Amino acid sequence: MDISSDESDDWFIESLNTYKDLHVFQLEHPTKVIEWTGDKNICVAGYTGSRSEILELLLPLKLYAGENQGLCAERDFKVQHGGFSEEPIESLIHISGTRCVVTSGSSSSTLQIWDIGGDDSDVIKRTGVINLKSTSVKGCKIAPGLTDEPAVLHGSCISEVQLTEIATGRVLYTVAKESSDSVSGLQFVNACVFLICASDGTLFMGDTRDPSTCHYPLEDSKSGLHWAFGLRSDSSQSEPSGCTVARLSSSGHMLLSDLRNLQSPFCQTQLNVQHDASKNDFLNVSWAPVLDRCLSVSGKKCSSPQPVFSHRGHEMSDEAKYSGSPPVVTTHSWHQSRPKTILSVATDGSLHVWDWVDKITDR
Amino acid sequence: MPDIKVTPLGAGQDVGRSCILVSIGGKNIMLDCGMHMGYNDDRRFPDFSYVTQNGRLTEFLDCVIISHFHLDHCGALPYMSEMVGYDGPIYMTHPTKAICPILLEDFRKITVDKKGETNFFTSQMIKDCMKKVVPLNLHQTVQVDEELEIKAYYAGHVLGAAMFQIKVGSESVVYTGDYNMTPDRHLGAAWIDKCRPDILISESTYATTIRDSKRCRERDFLKKVHETVERGGKVLIPVFALGRAQELCILLETFWERMNLKAPIYFSTGLTEKANHYYKLFITWTNQKIRKTFVQRNMFEFKHIKAFDRSYADNPGPMVVFATPGMLHAGQSLQIFKKWAGNEKNMLIMPGYCVQGTVGHKILNGQKKLEMEGRATLDVKLQVEYMSFSAHADAKGIMQLIRMAEPRNMLLVHGEAKKMEFLKDKIEQEFSISCYMPANGETTTVVTNPSVPVDISLNLLKREMALGGPLPDAKRPRTMHGTLIMKDNSLRLVSPEQALKELGLSEHQLRFTCRVQLHDPHSDTDTLGRIYTHLKSVLKSYSIQHVPDGTVIVESIVIKVTSSAEEPNLKVILLSWSYQVNKHVMN
């Protein structure tokens, strides 16, 4: 069979020059979450059925073979642990240093706590719940605490954000802000300082040692937009000054702010994106952990300014060819140590692991 | 209770070979007979003592089935048939029969000639073993004997690979061997009908893997070849005469055409004749869609691929060469390798597994200095790439297959049960079937619930219908009365009268009696008369007769009254009735 001059084949042939490594997988069920649970492990979870699977996967060993990459033929993911959730999973976080993950779903008013399991069993078991004040269709937003005692920061609207200790269910901190704005994302900067980004782009910064929370609304806030945020902290994680916050709106407006001055962003730009009010679910912006000042955006088609790289693999898959509408990337995650490796997943269940060629530096 | 027993032969946790015993309906079948490629001693053979401690293999086994030509599925076949001893039929598809002996001979040569082993099968044994092979076609039901039948289904994976259905009466088992559920350029996806076997047997390793697409593996191959050729290097691809070579050639040919590349690609002559043979086998074997594509070209009229001459190996400049044998253990591929190994611009691509003891195996283990004949050492400076193109099913694929076949039970071999609990739960919950995971050497017994088909006589059917009640329905069984006649191989349900007639017996009637006592001053006759009158008034819808001989008959019940001379007022009423009587009357 000749490789036909069909678009997806073209893309594959072009990929010989544009990607260093490219791996394409098909999960049984699509996921909205990719969470690292170890150097070589990630967790994914279903969101399309009433009963969803949570899987812990081992990345293909070829990615870790270093100089001996040629001698390693192992290109597949291995399912190491699996479990069942009674609801579609919207968010999943891993508590560093433990085998514990916390999930939030779209149909219950609890957060679920799970033990991913060790060598002796492959079952992910639920070990407890945290009761929430309300149910949210988008799922409650969650973030791991960075203290020694495992805790989770959670909330679907600003006034409900609290820090709960996992082992005891004790509420360690509550945000004292009367605001019914919905939470788009939240994250700890260090053991005590955390940031919340509301859906309308307002930033809130709090400190668990201090009951008050500061808020930083946008100077020029347009209604109807949804904002996503990504936090970059330097490796030492203790100084807020090393942190940059990126915010991206569903209309493509990008703001970069320094934690020392959240009121005024130090950089702004406008990305030319398809503005579709109904499709903001998967808007995602992240900072590269290794590369300097490099941001990635997924969930929206962006035509300008010219990105360093654009991964079109999900549109070009065989499955996408036969379905009516192209798949949308639900989320993506940077590899923790390999500078240019990204994992991305889409609504059709595809999971890609890729490493692009930087035409300038990789010659 | 009827059951099916499955025993994967082998010890402990080893997953390197397939050899499974199935006992079904009194028949014993061996599925695959693989060699474990990781051992050098007798542990590489399956442990037949499980069977042979009680007798000979030929007596015990009704047949042996081989799913495809990979050595971990057929490598121990000549050992089993000629050294342990088995003279019964060995079933496999036509391509498997054609390719197996070639691989077995190659393997034998390496093991005996190169490594000097002695407890191994000979060339003659391979030939004698293949004489016992009965080849079969896809979807063709083959009667092994009067009761046992087998059928092969397309498995994808490699040329000639099949999944097998084994059936005795209404009990059946399907063994998948190796298969894949995503079609690729050359081999379609496995397919089976909704045959609802009692057990579906498959590999557990598939279920815990999520496979990288074939496209990406091919991309990597093209990328590495292209990079080497661009920098002026030479690429050596050792291949078996039959198999991967043809696929990779087509891939390169199309790529060269599209990218307008000029570097020469060569195919060693030893491959060409065998390749045409392969081509013919392939065409008759593959499905319609793939066949159409191949018919468009003669496989070996390539624009960019030419026959190799060994003098070309010394030509300067980039080139790609496909040469045999596949594991670099001898012959042309080894010759070329020796010439090219010292240059780091060159590349060696190994598209398959290499047996221990071969140069290929050593290089894939990272060895950089090789000892050649005459104590010379060879420095391995060229780039080495190990690539796997085998199409295997994965977690998603196994679920798809279960959906296709609708087995009543699932059985996964080569897995550690405690590490497969999630998978077991998943299968059990999604399909409401049991999932078994025997360890090697362990027997799993699956109780079956076979349905026995029986012919029913029209008269009996009509009679049952006349009794009224719900119509017969596959989902709502209904009890009925009849006589089952088992004669020769037929089973028939007929009415009792019909059965008696056929057997030439007359019917015996059972009558029950009981005596009721009551005090009545009247005469016996009068008492009877009073009983008659009473019954007539309460049992209006029944036929009641007062017969002159002194009995009252209600349907089939006979009533008589007697008394003794000593106690004339103590009436004994004798009631007698036949077996089938309407209960309302009795009340």
Q: Is the pLDDT of residue A356 over 60?
A: yes
Residues of A in contact with B426 (CB under 8 A): 53, 82, 84
Q: Which of B293, B364, B394 sits opposite A1 (nearest CB)?
A: B293
Alpha-carbon distance B209 to nearest alpha carbon in chain A (angstroms): 5
Q: Are A243 and A252 in contact (CB under 8 A)?
A: no
Q: What is the pLDDT of residues B60-85, one digit of tens each?
A: 999 999 999 999 999 999 999 999 99
B428: annotated active-site residue: no
Count other C-beta atoms under 10 Å from residue B116's C-beta.
8
Contacts of B216 in chain A (CB under 8 A): 22-24, 75
Average pLDDT for B226-252: 87
Higher pLDDT, B513 or A177: B513
Is residue A136 pLDDT above 80, yes or no?
no
Please answer whether residues B380 and B370 qualify as being in contact, where contact means their C-beta atoms are separated by less than 8 angstroms.
Answer: yes
Q: Which of B203, B218, B385, B464 is catalytic?
A: B203
Predicted model pTM: 0.84
A to B CB pairs, distance under 8 Å = 107
Distance from CA of B471 to the nearest CA of A (A): 38
What is the reported pLDDT for A3?
Answer: 38
Our CA-based measurement puts residue A25 at a distance from the nearest CA of chain B, in whole angstroms, of 5
Judged by a CB distance cut-off of 8 A, whether residue A309 touches chain B is no
Among the partner residues A76, A82, A84, nearest to B212 by beta-carbon distance? A76
What tens digit of pLDDT does each residue of B147-177 get?
999 999 999 888 899 999 999 988 999 999 9
pLDDT surpassing 90 at residue B357: no
For the four alpha carbons of A87, A92, A95 and A100, in that order, the dihedral sign comes to positive
Residue A239: per-residue pLDDT: 61
Residue labelled with tokens 């201090």: A210
Spatial contact of A338 and A313, defined as CB atoms under 8 Å apart: no
How far apart CA A81 and CA A38 sit, in angstroms, is 13
Q: Give chain B's mean pLDDT.
A: 87
- Which of A59, A68, A80, A122 to probe by mutation at the B interface, max B CB count within 10 Å? A122
By Cβ distance, the residue of B216, B226, B394 closest to A22 is B216
Contact (Cβ atoms closer than 8 angstroms) between residue A110 and residue A60: no
Strands, sheet with B20-24, edge to edge from the N-terminal-most edge strand: B133-136, B90-93, B63-65, B27-31, B20-24, B3-8, B444-447
State what percent of residues in chain B have pLDDT above 90.
Answer: 44
Closest-CA residue to B436 (of B447, A211, A132, B129): B447
Residue A302 has pLDDT above 80, yes or no: no
On chain A, the residues whose CB falls within 8 A of the CB of B399 are 28
Query: Is A79's CB within 8 Å of B210's CB?
Result: yes
Of A324 and B36, which is predicted with more confidence? B36
| Option in B210, B254, B385 nearest A57 (CB) | B210
pLDDT tops 50 at residue B111: yes
Name every residue whose Cβ is closer than 8 Å to that of residue B357 and which is 6 or more positions away in sequence: B110, B111, B114, B115, B329
Expressed in percent and rounded to 5, the helix, strand and coil fractions of chain B are 35, 25, 40
Interchain CB contact of A78 with B (< 8 Å): yes
The reply to whether residue B210 touches residue A77, judged by beta carbons under 8 angstroms, is yes
Q: Is A84 on the interface with B (CB under 8 A)?
A: yes
CB under 8 Å to B577, separation ≥6 — which residues? B511, B512, B556, B557, B558, B586
CB atoms B216 and A75 under 8 Å: yes
Say whether A122 and B250 touch across the interface (CB within 8 A): no
Pairwise CA distance, residues A221 & A198, whole Å: 12
What ipTM was estimated for this complex? 0.91
**Interchain proximity B386–A77, CB inside 8 Å:** no
pLDDT of residue A345: 96
Give the residue on B whose Cα is nearest the Cα of A15.
B219
Q: Give the closest-approach CA distance of A19 to chain B in angstroms.
A: 10
Count, residues in chain A: 363
Give A 101-130 residues with CB within 8 A of chain B.
120-124
Mean pLDDT of the region B347-371: 90
Nearest to B386 among A1, A70, A122 (CB): A70
Mean pLDDT of A90-108: 92
| A chain contacts of residue B401, beta-carbon cutoff 8 Å | none
A73 shares contact with chain B (CB less than 8 Å): yes
A16 to B223: CB separation less than 8 angstroms, yes or no:
yes
Kindly report the number of other CB atoms within 10 A of residue A362's CB atom: 9
Q: Which residues of A touch B219 (CB under 8 A)?
A: 12, 15-16, 22
Q: How far is A72 from chain B (nearest CA, A)?
A: 6
Instruction: Give B-chain residues touching A7 at CB under 8 angstroms.
Output: none
- Compute the mean pLDDT over every residue in chain A, rounded to the nearest whole number: 87
